[in-house]
Amino acid sequence: EAGVVQSPRYKIIEKKQPVAFWCNPISGHNTLYWYLQNLGQGPELLIRYENEEAVDDSQLPKDRFSAERLKGVDSTLKIQPAELGDSAVYLCASSLLGKEDNEQFFGPGTRLTVL
Amino acid sequence: GNSVTQMEGPVTLSEEAFLTINCTYTATGYPSLFWYVQYPGEGLQLLLKATKADDKGSNKGFEATYRKETTSFHLEKGSVQVSDSAVYFCALSGPPGGGNKLTFGTGTQLKVEL
């Protein structure tokens, strides 16, 4: 069974440019998460979806970040415009249900470098 | 709010040495506790979990016990291998009713040498 797929794996852009990351969760998983992982830190939740609905986006900087999960499957995370401080790894995860002890399965991440 | 504190790394051990990575937490209620492992170039993988006090999670020779009285979930392994070299993250889920939001520690890098 395929795991969580993310693309691209690496992205280098100049500041003020837009960038988008794509995530395909494990088939059948209704809950999808985007996390931000700064160098030397643990992941921090940006947004959580249950099916198509964003049920927790309290940590998403909405002035420049946006996300969507059309049809409750794939998801896209966008930054526009990117800033130097956005350089980090963006992780996508999915789980079968949003229950508190359900395992989250993580993708390999997209490493973003903003110059 | 919820928080997780891990011992700082890197931790460097010789093969077959005993491993302990300390983890303490602050949380509302009784969260589930997790250890995730991240190998170079890969995503995080769940290593083990415990969902209530005194539970012991175990996998691949690693163990951790949910200690409510000390709010700890220390990771241990009796004999590490070179292949265990990775970054280990302690995490908790919660708050109750808030969905499966994970709060992670900063990670501890483990290096195992021959």
Q: How far is A26 from chain B, CA to nearest CA, in Å?
A: 14
**Residue B99 scores a pLDDT above 80:** no
User: Distance between CA A54 and CA B25 in Å, rounded?
Assistant: 27
* Interface residue of A100, A101, A105 to substitute, partner B, most B CBs within 10 Å: A100
Contacts 24+ apart (CB under 8 A), A62-69: A67/A34, A69/A32
Q: In what order do the strands lie in the sheet with A75-79?
A: A5-7, A19-24, A75-79, A65-68
Q: In what order do the strands lie in the sheet with B62-65?
A: B19-21, B75-77, B62-65, B56-59
Interchain CB distance below 8 Å, A101 and B93:
yes
- Between B43 and B100, the higher pLDDT residue: B43
User: Distance between CA A81 and CA B65 in Å, rounded?
Assistant: 45
pLDDT at B65: 98
Q: Is A91 on the interface with B (CB under 8 A)?
A: yes
Is residue A1 within 8 A of residue A27, CB to CB? The reply is: yes
* Interface residue of A21, A101, A103 to substitute, partner B, most B CBs within 10 Å: A101
Q: And the tokens for B92?
A: 């908790």
Quick one: which of B75, B84, B81 has its CA closest to B57?
Answer: B75
State pLDDT tens for residues B6-41: 988 899 999 999 999 999 999 988 888 999 999 988
Tell me the three state secondary structure of residue A44.
Answer: strand
CA B4 to each of CA A36, A68, A70, B29: distance values in angstroms, whole numbers, following the listed order: 17, 29, 33, 14
pLDDT over 70, % of chain B: 96
Averages of pLDDT over each 10 residues, chain A, 115 residues: 91 97 94 94 93 91 94 94 96 82 88 97
